[in-house]
């Protein structure tokens, strides 16, 4: 069964460093998403991406964040200068379409720890 | 601010018990309500996507109902098994496509 994959599973970085989190969405999906969950809190939406551009983003997704689909398979989230409060589990998701039946399939997450 | 609430926060039941939990969500600008089952260190697994008021969906021993007018959904598990132990997340989807999640209900089923 096709699945969303994410690498790495755990990333430890120092404050101020850049990190890139990688995702391989399901191959025939067209819509891609990043969410995150800070420990003990709700899963929060960061950004959605379609047709090589951002379609929606939350207040969390500020200038420190960017997304890219560098080739036909990968979807990346970059954090330019990490802060302690960026420590969270980051989930990638993909869907065929966001219409009423648009199920979003999630990857297993990357745990980012900023020290 | 759109808010999704789930209750209870956690639940401990014995194997064989039936259980249910609640998700409440905004009743305006509703497009869909998603339920996920999430085990630690695994991907959240999609259970149901519900779109119509009065929808009832079933997958094995798990079923869900939807009331969009009053803004709630129930998830039922019949005859809980230890392998049902997980966090059950609901998420509201409005017109923009992104999901707004509740905090989840953590279910523990003791053998």
For residue A101, what pLDDT band results from cuts at 50, 70 and 90?
Answer: low
The residues pairing with A81 across neighbouring beta strands, listed in sequence order, are none
**For position A57, what pLDDT does the model report?**
94
* Count of H-run helices and E-run strands, chain B: 0, 11
**For position A99, what pLDDT does the model report?**
58
**For position A104, what pLDDT does the model report?**
93
CA distance A77 to chain B (A): 17
Does B1 reach chain A within 8 Å, measured CB to CB?
A: no
**For position A98, what pLDDT does the model report?**
63
Which of the 8 DSSP states describes residue B60? Answer: T
**For position A83, what pLDDT does the model report?**
97
For residue B41, what pLDDT band results from cuts at 50, 70 and 90?
Answer: confident
Q: Do the Cβ atoms of A78 and A66 come closer than 8 Å? A: yes
**For position B52, what pLDDT does the model report?**
92
Q: Which residue of A has its CA nearest to B33?
A: A100
**For position A66, what pLDDT does the model report?**
97
Average of per-residue pLDDT across B32-57? 94
């Amino acid at each position: 069964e096709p699945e969303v994959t994410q690498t790495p599973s755990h990333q430890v970085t120092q404050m101020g460093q850049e990190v890139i989190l990688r995702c391989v969405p399901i191959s025939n999906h067209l819509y891609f998403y990043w969410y995150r969950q800070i420990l003990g809190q709700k899963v929060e939406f960061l950004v959605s991406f379609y047709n090589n551009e951002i379609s929606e983003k939350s207040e969390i997704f500020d200038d420190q964040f960017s997304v890219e689909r560098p080739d036909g398979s990968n979807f990346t989230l970059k954090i330019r200068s990490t802060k302690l409060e960026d420590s969270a589990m980051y989930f990638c998701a993909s869907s065929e379409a966001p219409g009423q039946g648009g199920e979003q399939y999630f990857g297993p997450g990357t745990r980012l720890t900023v020290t | 601010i759109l808010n999704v609430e789930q209750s209870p926060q956690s639940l401990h039941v014995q194997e064989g018990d039936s259980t249910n939990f609640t998700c409440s969500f905004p009743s305006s600008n509703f497009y869909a309500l998603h339920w996920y089952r999430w085990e630690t260190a695994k991907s959240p697994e999609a259970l149901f996507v519900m779109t119509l008021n009065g929808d009832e969906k079933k997958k094995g021993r798990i079923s869900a109902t939807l009331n969009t007018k009053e803004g709630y959904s129930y998830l039922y598990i019949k005859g809980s098994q230890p392998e049902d132990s997980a966090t059950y997340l609901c998420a509201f989807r409005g017109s923009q496509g992104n999901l707004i999640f509740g905090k989840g209900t953590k279910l523990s089923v003791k053998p």
